[in-house]
Amino acid sequence: MAIAQPRQSAFATSRSEPFEVRRIGNAELRESLAQGWADFMAKRGDLIFIGLIYPLVGFAAAFLFNGGNLFHLLFPVSAGISILGPVVASGFYELARRREDRLESGWSHFLDVRKRPGWDSLVAVAGLLLVIFLVWVTVAAVLWNLLIGVTPTSISHLFSLVFGTPEGWVLIVIGNLFGFACAALVLTLSVVSMPMLVDCDVDARTAVATSVRAVMMNKGPMARWGLIVATLLLLGSIPAFVGLAVVLPVLGYATWHLYVHTVVRESTLCND
């Protein structure tokens, strides 16, 4: 009688040889952004529709915290949602993959990412990003309670507590430093791994390790990419997150192209 084999963990090592990564520069960053914009313009009606999901999340966060005693976490939650951006963008990676293969790539294919061989591993990495998001919000709450400890009753009261007190400025400095660390960690873990898991039949460990090696090999360009992403997300958030309906799809597509420029994709495991 055959013995059932145990199901392999999403983080189990399935490869003995790592993927090769290339050195990139400013030319690849510019080309990735240009290609992302071209992809968006080719499918802008569909992608604007899907991109509105992200602003709706921002509005939901604003409504939730504006009406409760967690109003002081409105900014950390709104800013921290960008940590989950690579998760939302996974659907755009799938559309980019389909366009590259000259397959139909309408908005109905956005959720086809669930059918990819690396779906389980992608969910595992998404869970890791969710943990980082929860840590960010928790630290923000702890810092607020330690440094200020007063629940704001309005937006003006919130601003006066943050910008009008020495404790508020300490909160700004420490909070932004920790937020920068979280953003750098998310970039390192996900900039290559998330599109790779849409593209290739690999496990989460391989994808994350490849992402880390790609960032370490290209520290300068990846730092500039992170700055570009942060700037565009900030601009897209003004006013009221509406601009993210354009920014998120463009960045999703552009990140896919950055991955293609950075990683040597093996035909036996990728793009099947």
What is the mean pLDDT for each group of 10 consecutive residues in the chain (272 residues)? 43 57 95 92 66 62 59 75 82 87 76 84 92 91 90 82 90 91 93 93 92 95 93 77 80 94 78 62
Amino acid of residue 180: F
Q: What is residue 66's predicted lDDT score, i.e. its pLDDT? A: 56
* Alpha helical stretches, state H, the chain: 26-42, 44-51, 53-66, 74-80, 85-88, 90-100, 119-147, 155-163, 166-190, 193-199, 204-217, 219-236, 244-262
Question: In which residue are the tokens 């999901």 written?
Answer: 53
Q: How far apart are the C-alpha atoms of 148 and 136, rounded to whole Å?
A: 18
Q: How far apart are the C-alpha atoms of 264 and 242, rounded to whole Å?
A: 36
Beta-carbon neighbour count of residue 183 at 10 Å? Answer: 21
DSSP conformational letter for 20: P
Amino acid of residue 156: S
Closest CA relative to residue 211, chosen from 122, 141, 140: 122
Cβ contact 241:82 at 8 Å:
no
- Please count the CA atoms within 13 angstroms of the CA of 164 that sit on its side-chain side: 6
Q: What is residue 193's predicted lDDT score, i.e. its pLDDT? A: 95
Q: What is residue 42's predicted lDDT score, i.e. its pLDDT? A: 82
